[in-house]
């Protein structure tokens, strides 16, 4: 989790996490064990069952461990991701960290898009916010400078 107010996980018994006040800042990740999917662009229709399973199992674990109802959780994928091993984010609706429109893609929308078109994310132009001075911005700048 990425909670700012999480109780110390090594010293707080897990049963005390249930309905803990810090769940307002809930931020959990679901990480795929298998390799081969790095980003949203790698997803195809064959991954829809995986996405559905990750969402269902993540929501079930969040309800069981933290006591947060499914209708209070947002599930999304970053593009560009923070690291290139496929993962999905689970946050409380009150927690807006990382879910901005320039970066967060709702898993429910991703599933629907893949069901309509197997190569949706392979073909689609995806706009995203690029931070000044980030490694990718620096590479683009070097490339642009060499093109002139």
Verify whether residue 87 is a known catalytic residue.
yes
Of 20, 87, 89, 105, which residue is the catalytic one? Answer: 87
**Greatest CA separation found in the chain?**
61
- DSSP secondary structure of the chain: ---SS---TTTS-GGGGTT-GGGGG-EEEEE-SSSS--SGGG--GGGHHHHHHHHHHHHHHHHHHH---GGGEEEEEESS-SSSS-EEEEEETT--TT--TTTEEEHHHHHHHHHH-TTHHHHS-------TT-HHHHHHHHHHHHH-
Where in the sequence numbering do the catalytic residues fall? Answer: 87
């Amino acid at each position: 989790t990425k909670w700012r107010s999480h109780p110390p996980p090594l010293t707080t018994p897990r049963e005390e996490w249930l309905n803990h006040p810090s769940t307002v800042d809930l931020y959990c990740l679901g990480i795929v064990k298998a390799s081969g999917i790095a980003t949203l662009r790698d997803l195809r229709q064959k991954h829809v069952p995986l996405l559905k399973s990750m969402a269902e199992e993540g929501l079930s674990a969040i309800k069981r461990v933290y006591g947060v109802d499914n209708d209070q959780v947002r599930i999304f994928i970053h593009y560009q991701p923070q690291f290139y091993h496929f993962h999905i984010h689970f946050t409380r609706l009150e927690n807006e960290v990382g879910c901005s429109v320039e970066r967060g893609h709702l898993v429910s929308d991703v599933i629907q898009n893949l069901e309509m078109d197997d190569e949706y994310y392979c073909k689609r132009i995806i706009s995203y916010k690029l931070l000044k001075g980030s490694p990718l911005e620096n590479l683009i700048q070097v490339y642009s400078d060499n093109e002139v």
